[in-house]
């Protein structure tokens, strides 16, 4: 009996491993087929996350339209992608200059985006601007600049491209937001406010465009690791919040987020959190037990 048990256990583990492997392969193949030949627009493609999203979608055979503020950096990204690609299964990316924080120029850039292929299947709103500081030290001008980059920019691009999706009754809008769109963090009031506004807008949009078969997804990571925290003695980073929001060293790796964006598009997920259990628990507590979250000596430290 003991020998039989000894033999059965490895077989069970091997069988489970095989099932997991097969499942992952099926998901990978589905993700690949879901974006092949699709027109995918990535804003701020020259950022760390933008580059990884470009790499992932390009490798899967998407027709990329890469947007960024600097033509030189866009050209470098273009060259890097085609240098490692198989031309028989990939398409040469098209490039569009776009400064998401310059609202007056967004509509013209959106028209240029649509002119590339005549349509957009997937729009990935990736551009973002970060800021940290006490509320009283951040000028109203800077507040507006953050709101332009993180809220008005993405919704302006979306509004310009949305009619094309609605008329074709197909499309997918993905927003790379942040967990701070659900949960405010000290010394990031302007940033969190812009992300809360973005969350609210695209939640409403999802409900409005469902009848037109247009999907809306929000991907909420914690900090993306390319963003470096600057530690200063006595500030909030020395408090519970540093532990509260960390994942790995300084957040989620851009590769991890890019791969999740691909899965989100293939499965049409509505909302995704990329975080360890602690930030996820914080969102739950903030939503259902605010008196606990804000209590004296509680989460606010």
Backbone angles phi, psi at 49, to 5 degrees: -70, -40
pLDDT band at 236; cut points 50, 70, 90: very low
Q: Where are the beta strands (DSSP E) in the chain?
A: 39-42, 63-68, 94-97, 122-125, 171-176, 214-221, 271-274
Q: What backbone torsions phi and psi does residue 253 show, to the nearest 5 degrees?
A: -70, 140
Ranked by mean pLDDT, which of 38-52, 214-228, 237-251, 273-287 comes out on top?
38-52
pLDDT value of residue 93: 97
Q: How far is CA 208 from CA 32, 47, 200, 212, 284, in A?
A: 28, 31, 13, 9, 26
What is the predicted pLDDT for the residue at 237? 43
Mean pLDDT across the stretch 108-112? Answer: 94
Quote the pLDDT of residue 27: 52
Query: Is the confidence at residue 28, as pLDDT, over 90?
Result: no
Q: Give one DSSP letter per residue of 269-288, joined into a string.
A: -SEEEES-HHHHHHHHHHHH
**What does the angle CA 191 – CA 110 – CA 190 come to, to the nearest 5 degrees?**
10
pLDDT in tens, 162-209: 999 999 999 999 999 998 888 888 888 999 999 999 999 999 999 999
Catalytic residue set: 191
Q: What does R_g of the chain's alpha carbons equal in angstroms?
A: 21
Task: Determine the pLDDT at residue 169.
Answer: 97
Q: What is the DSSP letter of 229?
A: P
Under 8 Å between Cβ of 176 and 49: yes
pTM confidence score:
0.79
CATH topology of domain 35-293: Rossmann fold (3.40.50)
Q: Give the residue extent of every domain in the chain.
A: 35-293
């Amino acid at each position: 009996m003991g020998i039989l048990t000894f033999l059965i256990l490895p077989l069970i583990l091997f069988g489970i491993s095989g099932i997991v492997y097969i499942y992952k392969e099926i998901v990978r193949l589905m993700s690949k087929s879901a974006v092949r030949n699709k027109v995918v627009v990535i804003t701020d493609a020259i950022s760390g996350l933008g580059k990884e999203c470009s790499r992932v979608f390009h490798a899967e055979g998407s027709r990329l339209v890469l947007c960024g503020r600097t033509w030189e950096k866009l050209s470098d990204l273009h060259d890097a992608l085609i240098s490692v690609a198989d031309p028989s299964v990939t398409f040469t990316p098209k490039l569009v200059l776009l400064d998401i924080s310059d609202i007056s120029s967004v509509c013209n850039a959106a028209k240029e985006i649509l002119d590339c292929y005549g349509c957009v299947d997937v729009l990935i709103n990736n551009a973002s601007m970060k800021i940290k500081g006490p509320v009283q030290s951040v000028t109203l001008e800077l507040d507006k600049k953050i709101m332009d980059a993180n809220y008005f920019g993405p919704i302006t691009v979306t509004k310009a491209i949305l009619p094309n999706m609605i008329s074709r009754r197909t499309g997918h809008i993905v927003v790379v937001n942040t967990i701070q769109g659900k949960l405010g963090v000290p010394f990031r009031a302007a940033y969190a406010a812009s992300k809360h506004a973005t969350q609210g807008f695209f939640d409403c949009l999802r409900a409005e465009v469902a009848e037109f078969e247009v999907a809306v997804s929000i991907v909420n990571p914690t900090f993306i690791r390319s963003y470096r925290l600057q530690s200063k003695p006595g500030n909030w980073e020395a408090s519970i919040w540093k532990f509260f929001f960390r994942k790995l060293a300084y957040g989620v790796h851009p590769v991890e987020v890019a791969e999740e964006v691909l899965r989100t598009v293939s499965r049409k997920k509505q909302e995704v959190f990329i975080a360890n259990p602690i930030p996820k628990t914080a969102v739950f507590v903030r939503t259902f037990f605010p008196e606990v979250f804000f209590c004296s000596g509680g989460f606010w430290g």
